Structure 1
Amino acid sequence: MIARIKQIEGSRWSQQLRVWHVPDIDENRIRFKLALVADTLPSDEGIIQIEKFKQWLRSRRYSESTIVTYSEALKSFFVFYNSKAIAEITNEDVIIYNNEYILKNGLSSSYQNQIVNAIKLYFKTCRDTKIEVDKIHRPKREKVLPNVLSKEEVFKIIDVTENLKHKTLLALIYSSGLRISEALAMKPQDIDSIRMLIHIKNAKGNKDRYTLLSEKVLVMMREYYSVYKPKEYLFEGQYGGQYSSRSAQVVLQEAAQKAGIVKHISLHTLRHSFATHLLESGTDLRFIQDLLGHSSPKTTMIYTHVSSTSLKKIKNPFDL
């Protein structure tokens, strides 16, 4: 298969993504039986409206990651209706889109919810519309519990990671309950080694917060800093700038495979594990909420369903 891919003009190997890729042109789309480029783009009107929507989101100080998420979600909706004037789109069209695109392609309820968020936000800013925003219903959310690693599994992953930068990054994410975006945006001056706290700036929802700094991780960070000497961000790429989140994910997957972890995990699993282990050690749920930066206690409550402390107190009838 690789030999055949190499014969396609413009084919390339991506070291970062670790895949072969070919130019996104109609010739290759026909070859792989995909929709033509024109069929994957919104109408000219849609492109203009998406750009206006981005400007509106920026004026409301939404984060760039949220702007990308919402504009891509709106683009998906406009591509589906690229032959229909936006002013003519109705609530019935939203239902048809959900059935004929979201459900037909087996897409998740969380993705559908992103689409609904984008549609509702966009049409709130749109004067000439037949859409009744308040009558657009959200999908029923799936109650999926997060995967959580045991403490032993976490330390095994960190122990088998030999590269000092990678080891420090994984240890920091777990020990402070960070989102990957927060860890990669961190700067050396955000580390308060006197108060043993980390200042998280402009996190999700444009909120600042403080979280814990582990004494053992601080020792690792000092060793890492003396070796790598980062200039701006605490974790930087080979040529400077923020370290790639994709590279960090690859680091975790390789470490998990080396450690013999068969669970489906991501970097966010380390954050879930941090919260669950705090709860199991008796930390008040309100403090965990503050450390994680959750707006609602309902978000933090999910960890009560994955904590094993209460379940261990129950004597299994089979063992009796």
Structure 2
Amino acid sequence: MEAGRDAAKAFWRAEVQREDRKREPWQLDQWSDAIQWYLNWLKACEEAGADHRSLPERLRAAVHSAGSRRGLALRTKQCYGAWAARYAVFAGDEREVMRVETASRFLGSVVNDEDCAYSTQKQALNAVAFFFKYVCGVEDPVFQVKLRKTGTRIPVVLAKPETERLFEKLDEPPKQAKKTEGRYGLAARLQYGAGLRLSELVRLRIKDVDLGRGTLTVRMGKGDKDRMTVLPKSLREQIAEQIEKAREIWRRDREEGLAGVYLPGALARKFRRAAETFEWFWLFPARQTSVDLETRCYDRAGRDDDAVGDAAVTRVAVRTKPESGIRRRHHLHGKVYNEAIQRAASAAGIEKHVTSHALRHSFATHLLEAGTDLRTIQDLLGHEEITTTEIYLHVATGVHGLGVVSPLDSRE
């Protein structure tokens, strides 16, 4: 929530008037005076064109805005923004955050002091490099840090009976009115049956489903690439029913005059009415609508980043201003779905670290065990390198797996 009067009211109700912490009248008066002083300070900052937000918030917003100008995917902007905020906390002040030496120390702490994978280290490096190049204007920053190679982690794979137990638990009606586990069974089956990443599953649109040919088209997958994968025959009837459920939600949204679904910037500009058509609607729409929040950067004259351009933004002191977007319906929330998977796995007695990604691992492993060649699995998963797919050789048994029989089992 943006800092301001609404946020102050929410804080007053949630913290100052907490039922488990009764406050004396004089304490309430002090809280009231403090909040009023804070609101007056915010107003003065706004009138003076000053930025009242913390350094981490400002860096996150600046990186997000620069990413928008360069057409980065939303998840990439969020990821880079999160790393920029962490870097700001590490640097401590505005002078230090602009120094390449400080960034080198930060990356060194990530590499040497945190137990994180090589891919995470590389992600941090890319995010900080993006900040220096596109926000600070440093063309080719050189960081004195060497990334640390980490060992290969064996993926968590469910046995087929375990997947069935998981799906059964997801199909059970919720015991509490606010719980929604009963609606996730189909999504989980589709993720397993098509080998989808979590983000690819929740972002499926109606037009991506071809019931006649039995295929799914994954748009803008990892690496911003499209691919096709299989739509299980056993799910086609349920998917057809889900499409009709989505159609009813879409019709209701249109009758209520809601804005269309989210489209990437270039598509939204090219096909202005596409967001309101059913073909672009989500296969798994969220139950509730929500308001978009867009963060943009402004210079002291009040011009936004599109108006002043990259060079001007790096030359002037930038303040950030969150702008309330429009109300629309987004897709099923990945975090909520993943938490439902974890609860169902626990309820099913599956003693493994199960996340939604385990369903994708299980898809690949079970195909390999059934005799599907590695190259085909690579295409279905959307792996750029065959070496990434080869990890499943370590966990598969049977035809294309290890195929090793323990000497204890082979005794005669």
Q: What corresponds to 1:203 in structure 2?
A: 221
The answer (yes or no) to whether the contact 1:102–1:112 under 8 Å persists in 2 is: yes
Pair 9,249 (structure 1): closer, same or farther in 2 beyond 3 Å:
farther
Q: Which structure 2 residue ranges, 5 or more long, are not aligned?
A: 1-12, 20-33, 35-52, 174-181, 251-280, 290-328
Report deviation, 1:196.
Answer: 0.7
What CA deviation, in whole Å up to 9, does each residue of 1:142-200 have, x standing for no partner? 32111111122112211232256311111111101111222211122221111110111
Give RMSD over aligned pairs. 3.1
Q: What corresponds to 1:20 in structure 2?
A: none
Q: Which structure 1 residue ranges, 5 or more long, are not aligned?
A: 1-5, 13-26, 28-40
CA separation in 1, counterparts of 2:402 and 2:388? 23
What CA deviation, in whole Å up to 9, does each residue of 1:191-220 have, x standing for no partner? 111111011122222221111011111122
Q: Counterpart amino acid of 1:295? A: E
**Which secondary structure does the structure 1 equivalent of 2:354 belong to?**
coil
The answer (yes or no) to whether the contact 1:186–1:234 under 8 Å persists in 2 is: yes
CA separation in 2, counterparts of 1:130 and 1:192? 45
Pair 103,198 (structure 1): closer, same or farther in 2 beyond 3 Å:
same
1:219 and 2:228 are equivalent in the alignment = no
1:291 and 2:380 are equivalent in the alignment = yes
Report deviation, 1:120.
Answer: 2.5
- Out of 255-264 and 106-115, give the one that drifted further: 106-115
Pair 107,311 (structure 1): closer, same or farther in 2 beyond 3 Å:
closer
Q: What corresponds to 1:143 in structure 2?
A: 152
Q: Counterpart amino acid of 1:139? A: R
The answer (yes or no) to whether the contact 2:59–2:81 under 8 Å persists in 1 is: no
Q: What corresponds to 1:239 in structure 2?
A: 288
Q: What corresponds to 2:362 in structure 1?
A: 273
Question: Of the candidates 167, 179, 203, which is equivalent to residue 185 of structure 1?
Answer: 203
1:316 and 2:406 are equivalent in the alignment = yes
Q: What corresponds to 1:79 in structure 2?
A: 89
Q: Taking structure 2 as the reference length, what is the TM-score of the superposition? A: 0.61
Report deviation, 1:66.
Answer: 0.8
Report deviation, 1:261.
Answer: 0.7
Q: What corresponds to 1:33 in structure 2?
A: none
**Which secondary structure does the structure 1 equivalent of 2:219 belong to?**
strand
Q: Counterpart amino acid of 1:246? A: K
1:161 and 2:170 are equivalent in the alignment = yes
- Out of 241-250 and 160-169, give the one that drifted further: 160-169
Q: Taking structure 1 as the reference length, what is the TM-score of the superposition? A: 0.76
Report deviation, 1:265.
Answer: 0.9
**Which secondary structure does the structure 2 equivalent of 1:78 belong to?**
helix
Q: What corresponds to 2:311 in structure 1?
A: none
What CA deviation, in whole Å up to 9, does each residue of 1:227-249 have, x standing for no partner? 56442311122235311212211
**Which secondary structure does the structure 1 equivalent of 2:284 belong to?**
coil
The answer (yes or no) to whether the contact 2:59–2:85 under 8 Å persists in 1 is: no
CA separation in 1, counterparts of 2:14 and 2:139? 49
**Which secondary structure does the structure 1 equivalent of 2:285 belong to?**
coil
CA separation in 1, counterparts of 2:372 and 2:68? 38
The answer (yes or no) to whether the contact 2:394–2:402 under 8 Å persists in 1 is: no
**Which secondary structure does the structure 2 equivalent of 1:210 belong to?**
strand
Count how many residue pairs are aligned between Structure 1 and Structure 2.
284
Pair 236,84 (structure 1): closer, same or farther in 2 beyond 3 Å:
closer
The answer (yes or no) to whether the contact 2:97–2:103 under 8 Å persists in 1 is: no
The answer (yes or no) to whether the contact 2:133–2:140 under 8 Å persists in 1 is: no
State the structure with more CA Rg. 2
CA separation in 2, counterparts of 1:99 and 1:174? 38
Q: Counterpart amino acid of 1:75? A: A
Pair 258,87 (structure 1): closer, same or farther in 2 beyond 3 Å:
closer
